[in-house]
Chains A and B, each alone.
Chain A
């Protein structure tokens, strides 16, 4: 959030309402226009890090629909608005203002075109699928693992044998710091020393929408198969995530999964819910 910008926008709105309206009568269309601009400014400059353009367009489309619904939700107000537009276009007193408006509209389009032609070329934006669908089963070291039913075999030690569980977590910690932290970072925020070189960036495990939402078998698949194992749909994945089946054993992968959950404090999503 960019509090100063948001407060500034709010202050301007209050000023308009309290001070400006002493001199100028603002009709409903003008008010809706002011709201539109204020919300646009808030979305574009009031949020930090900035929202992607696609989102601003989506939000403003919704807001435009809503404001139009508001304008037309009442017969009298709508009629008044219609009349004020007609008056603006035909009345003698608005002649100069009308000419200005008629000049400003094409000028704004021209300015916008100029600005967008002057932007540095960028690769087109793409809607990346954050959690690709896993296959129903994978082979690991020659064995087939059914992802719909596979469970972390060491998870139950948490309740039956705490010492053994702690040993597995400790092993997971060792594996994490020997292999993963270069990318995923020492506090698992996806900001390791290599991270800035990649697009997409390494996953941030503290984020409530990554491992907290997923089943352990899903993580097993992602870690074992990495980017090369991503499905053939929704490509290109362009992911730097290595396929750890080449370097780690099955037990080591389950251990590092235990550690990811242990460190972040999240619980894995449970398998299959009652039918």
Chain B
């Protein structure tokens, strides 16, 4: 073949002695973490790869890395909204918020240990199974390991101080610790993101793969987009898992007060998740554009080529996320007196969602038999073709976002009746804003077919901005509209069907699956490269697995993750139990050990 004329990097260390210093330090720390067999290996004799009996080392590393990512995402995300909720409690003086924030925080300490264990396992595995690649990355990023390790220690300190200091420290100090925890956590993620984005879009190196600028290697094309995309996706993921915890406790709750509390917890969790879900498509789109800009070959592999079918699976998952989120909101209305008034809207909202879902999931490359293809006059279907490209998808996802927002709006006003004199006009203005924005978004989508690619990509910006504008302005009007509103009754927390709680499980599992799938894409799009265009994968695993196989591995990872999360849930629930007391006669009494719950 005519490809790949770029030299493959040899990983011999050269240069001034001090260059090796941080690498040595880092290697020392890494080795200290994992100790054991790696100690005895003389560097020169190290092979490029090692294999395992029964399972391919790639699949093992894949699973360990993804599980580490999932737990890390969770551990980073929970403090973000726990802090916000705690702050609300501090400002309003409402104890329930404080309790809720603490309930979320309880999930952290065990998860943190899992994250660290999996991280050590990952490092260890990389050293053992991929020594050449690991050496190269350590060489490039040697200076980043020291701050990483330091930050990790700080993270541990702040995390445990935040957890154990609950109610023991002054609220301000506690909030400050929470803030530091978030800052440190985000910094850790940014550093780790530099390593992995470098592998996809290497930068700051010369033709031979030697480092020329550490900052450029860190700030490569996809670093910032992935930082942002992950930051937001983590919050969505953490919120969904937190909501699943609420659902889990709700379904097992024995008292009305406990049901009410955990219903509320599930609602807040999913509220956080949906708020983060709404801007995700934009962040993902930006990431896609940067990948395309770095190298069209990578971009096409991802969106139009080898992985185009995977993105159909992604679209189906995301469509389901939006559908389930709306479904949960509709079911939630059962707990609000007065919500019956809005039932009639559900079918229209559902209609729009279904239509957008269909457009969003329509593939560009079709699966068709020869006969079907002939009938279509080619591999493109003249009508589906229109739906298969970015203009249509962007329009669909913008409308999905707006629809979800409308569901929220209805939920918010379910028990309210406006008393202001301009209520009617206000409603009409809101409606007008929606109408204009929807027409504008659809117009831009259609217009996109008549302009060149560069302009078309530019069109996504006004689309996004107009949707953001609609959400912001309607919210502001709504705030004034329902000031001093007449209430039709309080929200009755806990008065909700079990179905809604299963919808929360569904959301959590779907998010996790999506995350696993996208983690695979991120690594898979390099195909037979370890570091794209710089260091070739010469192992026996250098092929791209089939989508079915990858789906199987991702599913297995998701199952393992939920088994581990079940342990976290179980352990977090222990603190709420009554103290164990020996009972005369029986070994212990069943009722004693069943869940007793905190006051709401």
Contact = CB atoms under 8 A, between A and B. Distances in A.
A103 B376 CA distance: 38
Given A75-B497, A200-B373, A234-B306, A136 B4 contact: yes
B527 A233 contact: yes
A144 interface: yes
Nearest to A140: B2
B300 A209 contact: no
Interface string B364-390: 111111111111111111111110110
Contacts of A266: 452
A152 to B, nearest CB: 14
Given A66-B350, A128-B365, A272-B293, A204 B389 contact: no
B453 A54 contact: no
A213 interface: yes
A273 B460 CA distance: 15
A208 B3 contact: no
B2 A213 contact: no
Given A73-B330, A130-B379, A234-B306, A54 B371 contact: no
B308 to A, nearest CB: 6
A204 B378 contact: yes
A209 B385 contact: yes
A97 interface: no
Interface string A22-54: 000000000000000000000000010111111
Interface string A256-270: 000000000011111
B3 A137 contact: yes
Interface in B282-296: 289-290, 292-296
Interface string B108-138: 0000000000000000000000000000000
B452 A130 contact: no
A250 interface: no
Given A136-B4, A136-B533, A266-B452, A130 B358 contact: no
B1 interface: yes
Contacts of B368: 52, 54, 125
A78 to B, nearest CB: 8
A204 B380 contact: yes
A105 interface: no
What bracket does the count of chain B residues touching chain A fall in?
35 or more
A55 B369 CA distance: 12
Interface string A224-237: 01000100111000
Given A49-B375, A51-B384, A130 B457 contact: no
A127 B367 contact: yes
B173 interface: no
A213 B453 contact: yes
Nearest to B390: A213
B388 A209 contact: yes
B360 to A, nearest CB: 10
Contacts of B380: 130, 204, 207, 209
Contacts of B388: 209
Interface centre among B358, B378, B386 (most CB of A within 10 A): B378
A8 interface: no
Contacts of B353: 66
A52 B221 contact: no
A269 B305 CA distance: 17
Interface in A201-228: 201, 203-204, 207-209, 212-213, 215, 217-218, 225
Contacts of B320: 65
A225 B1 CA distance: 11
A198 to B, nearest CB: 10
A155 to B, nearest CB: 13
A94 interface: no
Nearest to B347: A70
A219 B308 CA distance: 20
Contacts of B297: 133-136, 147-148
A1 interface: yes
B354 A63 contact: yes
A248 B389 CA distance: 32
Given A52-B369, A201-B378, A273-B289, A137 B305 contact: no
B96 interface: no
A212 B453 contact: yes
A73 B327 contact: yes
B366 A129 contact: no
A271 B454 CA distance: 9
Given A70-B347, A73-B330, A209-B380, A54 B370 contact: no
Interface string B439-468: 000000000010011100100000000000
Contacts of B306: 129, 133, 233-234
Contacts of B362: 55, 58
B361 interface: yes
Interface string B313-326: 00010011001000
Contacts of A209: 364, 380, 385, 388-389
A87 interface: no
A123 B373 CA distance: 12
B372 A53 contact: yes
B300 A133 contact: yes
A190 B378 contact: yes
A62 B361 contact: yes
A134 B296 contact: yes
Contacts of A160: none
Contacts of B499: 72
Interface string B270-312: 0000000000000000000110111111101100111011000
B542 to A, nearest CB: 11
Nearest to B309: A127
A138 interface: yes
Nearest to B497: A75
A208 B377 contact: no
Contact of A73 (B316, B346, B452): B346
A75 B2 CA distance: 64
6 contacts: A51-B384, A53-B372, A70-B346, A75-B334, A209-B380, A271-B296
Report, nearest first, the 4 A-B pairs whose CB atoms are least far apart.
Answer: A267-B452, A135-B3, A269-B453, A52-B368
Given A55-B363, A135-B297, A200-B378, 17 more contacts: A49-B375, A49-B381, A50-B375, A52-B372, A53-B369, A62-B361, A66-B350, A74-B330, A130-B308, A133-B306, A135-B2, A136-B295, A209-B389, A215-B296, A233-B306, A269-B452, A269-B454
